[in-house]
Amino acid sequence: MASDTQSRDARPPHRFDVRVYYEDTDMGGIVYHANYLKFIERARSDWVAGMGIDQREMKERDHLVFAVRRIECDYLLAARFDDRLEVLTEVQSVSGARLVLRQQVLRGAEPVFTATVTVVCLTDTGHPARLPANIRLILH
């Protein structure tokens, strides 16, 4: 059965290491909640670059940029100064217009933070656009 949506990427998850710096923490010495969004953003950027997708070129040539449409997240455990964390990024589904990712922040084997992130493409005027065909092919 053909479908424009594919679920669960068969590839292993992308892995991205993060060290918690003092600037990442709050007065209690734990990672400030908004910084988890920075950690997963860095991981997504590294994942995209690792697939050979040049976002600058995509913007200049195709007048398209990626934008986060939705994030649903859970804070499970506190991470602290000098923790070594790992962000795992996996494709949950790809359609013509959106990409849904599952991202986890782990400390060792312990999940600290999880997120489901929906990414879309926008034109340089801010209008929604289909994901470029070459990118959909890479992700399928």
Q: Which domain CATH number covers 67?
A: 3.10.129.10
Model confidence pLDDT, tens digit, residues 108-140 = 999 999 999 999 999 989 999 999 888 888 887
- Which residues are known catalytic residues? 26
pLDDT band (50, 70, 90) for residue 6:
very low
- For the chain, the distance separating the N- and C-terminal CA atoms, rounded to the nearest angstrom, is 15
Residue 76 to residue 106: CA distance in whole angstroms: 10
The proportion of the chain whose per-residue pLDDT surpasses 90, expressed as a percent, equals 84
Residue 122 lies in a domain: yes
Please compute the mean of the pLDDT values over residues 25-47 and round it to a whole number: 97
What does the mean pLDDT of the chain come to? 92
Question: For residue 136, what pLDDT is reported?
Answer: 87
Residue 30 lies in a domain: yes
CA 63 to each of CA 55, 56, 133: distance values in angstroms, whole numbers, following the listed order: 10, 9, 14
CA 44 to each of CA 55, 111, 128: distance values in angstroms, whole numbers, following the listed order: 12, 18, 20
SS3 44: helix
Residue 1 lies in a domain: no
Question: For residue 134, what pLDDT is reported?
Answer: 87
Write out the residue range of the structural domain in which residue 12 sits: 6-139
Lowest mean pLDDT across 34-48, 76-90, 120-134: 120-134
Residue 36 lies in a domain: yes
Residue 90 lies in a domain: yes
Structural domain total, the chain:
1
Model confidence pLDDT, tens digit, residues 55-68 = 999 999 999 999 99
